[in-house]
Amino acid sequence: MKRTYSLTAVGLSVSLFIYLIYRSKSTVVNELMASILSSDTYNQIRTSVRDAIPLNEAIIFSLPGGLWLFCVTILSRDLYIDIKEYKIKIAALPLLFAIGLEFMQLLHFNRGTFDLWDLGSYLVFWLPGYYGFQSRSSQQNVLSVFTLEGFICVTCFLSVYLAHVNS
């Protein structure tokens, strides 16, 4: 389980770094950081890092979503929900969630641009998250008992709000 948390921490940290430095200033996480540091200080940091570490657009716009998907998939692979007689694995939900958000962009229900590269990135990152790691803990019903794993998984889903563009 420690390995899972370490991979998750690294993946989410890289995603956060990309969002804080390279993505729109209008995202919730960037507006929050600008209010903490002051807009001028934050803009100077962003400019300095961008000048020192230029990144390709594919990395800026597709990698964070893929990393998030990988992280939440490995966190949720031992979680399930019981609905009547059905045991539904939570690890399939991150992929469906990400694809759903992408199609909501296509239909203009939320801000952002539909991108086939994002869909490819989701699949490339979901597959090793789902199939690449041996399960080390017992399967847990995410709704029956409050667990650290369940809390972290739900928190990762909620963190998607930080990537929301306000304006």
Residue spans of beta strands (DSSP E) within 16-105: 79-83, 86-89
- pLDDT tens for the chain, 167 residues long, are 667 788 889 999 999 999 999 999 999 999 999 999 999 999 999 999 999 999 999 999 999 999 999 999 998 888 888 888 888 888 889 999 999 999 999 999 888 888 899 999 999 999 999 998 766 667 777 666 667 777 777 788 778 877 777 75
User: Any idea what DSSP says for residue 108?
Assistant: T
Q: Residue ranges of the domains in the chain?
A: 2-163
Q: Helix crossing, 2-22 with 39-52: angle to 10°?
A: 100
